[in-house]
Amino acid sequence: MELNFNAKRVCLVLGSPGAPRKMQVLLDGKPIPNSLAGPDVHNGVATISNQRLYRLVDLPHPESHVLTLQPESGISGYAFTFG
């Protein structure tokens, strides 16, 4: 899934019923660096478990980028929010 955005923060309600699963988070085609990742992403990977709002991107100021999410099978996404 690819998303063009212009924002400082990108969050997504996600859930993984039954077991935690991994999701790759890429910014402009490369794993998002920890310095630009939200607190739920470490080394370009988010571990998704309970359904909740996951903070994926946390930039110093609003910018235009392409966010690519590569979830393992079994992860469901519900609603993006931006800040």
Encode 29-41: b = buried (16+ Cβ within 10 Å), e = exposed: eeebeeeebbebb
What's the pLDDT score for residue 62? 97
pLDDT digits (tens), the chain, 83 positions = 899 999 999 999 999 999 999 999 999 999 999 999 999 999 999 999 999 999 999 999 999 999 999 999 999 999 888 98
Domain that holds residue 41: 2-82
Amino acid 67 reads L
Record the pTM: 0.93
Domain with 24 in it: what CATH number?
Answer: 2.60.120.260
How many domains would you assign to the chain?
1
The secondary structure element, H or E, covering residue 81 is: strand 76-82
Take residue 37 and report the two structure tokens written for it. Answer: 């990742």
